[in-house]
Structure 1
Amino acid sequence: MNTDINSKSSLLIIDDFLDNIKLLLSFLTDAGFKVLIARDGEQGIKTAQYAKPDLILLDIMMPGLNGFETCQQLKQAEETKNIPIIFMTALTDLNEKIKGFELGAADYITKPFQHAELLARINTHLSVIRLQQQLEKRNLEAEAFARTVAHDLKAPLAGVLGLIDVLKEKFQESNVVDADDIENIHLIEQSAKQMNEIILALLMLAGVSSNQEVICLPLDMSGILQSVLHRVEYIRKEYQGIIEYPKEFPLAMGYAPWIEEVWANYLINGLKYSGRPPHLIITANIQNNYVKFSVKDNGQGLSLEDQKKLFIPFARLSNGDHTGHGLGLSIVQQIISKLNGNVGIESQIGDGCLFYFTLPLFSETIH
């Protein structure tokens, strides 16, 4: 018996059969739980919303709201949807059990039940809850750490980039420096800008991975793209890339700061890992109630095996020239998923890659 879990846990029994309630109340209280009682579904829902028990034991066969209806309402309410529910039933019909799981039940226990079995099932689900809570706490701590580190690095790195600009101006005015000096300062500048991109990605990842709520608005995609093109200009110049894009875009719904990061990832990857020189073509078209935005490159394309790895964090592709795709594209996928869209790639060996993302089309009838 896990007395540590029991002494800190509350259970709600929803059952109309008094003898069953008395039996469970005595047994579970002796086991160390705090036990709450409700005699019908409506009372059970109110008690769950008020007391927020750690777990609910719910009888199926009850007058008024039956167990299935009670479970459905509990799972639809924000304050009770995450409370695990164990059905107590004399029913052995498989379809009934499947129905309960589809409504969100965590488990079943069949009457007449053995005390040891019931206690084991309760402790199992309470342990899962504790582990989930610990994991969520660790994730929040990791996100906060990543955000803090990235934020603290951003300011000094901006200072480094500013000093590099000062040195470049002095080099241009000096007759002492040679070609090697100029090349070295150029390499320092490129490294600093790459570090800045990594910091921006960390900050973006921390924000996207959190429970941060964003308001989706109609996007000025032309303005967003112009900002991104300015941001990636140093890479475009380095690789002597060509970027074609339309003057106007269909009006889509989204969150502008996140969409800027999506475009930045797609364009940086396209400039670094496609043809030489890279040639990128940006397009946008309406498909049903969505807008599909895409970047087509002139690279060698990717195999189906490598395409499956692209949006997996830290995945390495079989072609060593493409190792930079992984983390950035995993952030892209998280962003677009939160904005109710999809991401993907269309590619054939020898015919380049087309990376795309979709966003809901703006509709004046809705907004």
Structure 2
Amino acid sequence: MSKATTEASNPELPEVNETSSVVLIVDDNPANLGVLSDFLDEAGFEVLVAQDGESAIAKVEYASPDIILLDIMMPGIDGFETCRRLKANTDTQDIPIVFMSALADTPDKVKGLSIGAVDYITKPFQQEEVLARVRLHLKLRFLTKQLAAQNELLEQRVQERTADLNKALDELKKAQVKLIQSEKMSSLGQLVAGVAHEINNPVNFIYGNLVHAKDYTDDIVEILQLYRDRYADNDPEIAEKIEDYDLDFLVTDLPKLLQSMQVGADRIRSIVLSLRNFSRMDEAELKYVNIHEGIDSTLMILHNRIKTKHDRPGVEIRKEYGELPQIECYAGQLNQVFMNLITNALDAVDERNKQLSPEEVKEYPGYVSIRSWSSEERDRIFVEVSDNGLGISEETRQKIFEPFYTTKPVGKGTGMGLAICYSIVVDKHSGQISCHSQPNQGSTFLVEVPVRQSHHDT
């Protein structure tokens, strides 16, 4: 008989050779055993024999056959019980069992098939029929094995492809973050440059002339005082004008007015300087800077969010600056990190204040704490931004650095702020950023960056 083979459609699967299969014959009749084993041996099968159920089970444990031909009426445990035990064992439950018995009643056949047998042959049997059924069930078994192997291989490839897709998705998100970050910084730089240019020149003109205006005013006031002393009493018209315009008030208030203008000009100059310092678009390369200047610039820009208003209580800013060395960084980008962290902290405090009564807010005011320190051993600096806002849940905390994840309502946030912070700190500066928070316990963000960068391409 020629060897029949069934090759797997996938080259990674093993080839199947039916005639190299092992057949176990279990029968207490030596004559049946001899005839059937010789016939199957001539057909090219490797044949094992057993004369009772116990010995069959023992033989299966050390020489697993590909198919079992099992008699029912045997000494000791019968074929039904032998079948049950084999099917109850995970190591042997997949071996196909074909009953061969003189019990030809339908209930016996139904019982045999119901406990796990794949076929039932009644005695006396025809050898060619047994051979045909053995071939059929071996082919089904091998096809089942092939299908299982293909499914396993397919599952493995699906897992690999899923991992590749997840990796590609993560890379895409990172690319989106970098693109948005770059666009935001570019837009911010253009805006700040335009605002600074348009405001700086007229402000400098006003600021520079206020000093002369004060001197001129002092001179004019002195002359007016002299005129009043010399001529007011002798000229009723002058005396009337002095009284109508309340010259004493004008002389007293005009210097105060000029002083207020001086303070306002100083304030505008400080804001322009803070905007330029915050953006640092003229310093796009790595440079050594004072981190505290960037934080103070951020606080200056956010002054309107911090101060008390008629419809909103102010937020206390607690600064605990340590001694920090100048660090090598992309200053504008790190300032963006502090802007995002402080803005989020102010938002959290505002939401907390909305849930409290004015008396409670007065007793337990909202605050944002900014601490900094350095580690000479690790050659790193640390900046911690904390608040006593509403805090966040553990589930949310694990997602806050993911792109486009936000807990804010529609129109209030894009979910990019903290993702950009993570990208700037971790990817651009080889640092770390972490968050510790609990609901109703506030939040703490810790930024850690090296004092010097390794000058790798970013």
Larger radius of gyration: 2
TM-score normalised by length of structure 2: 0.39
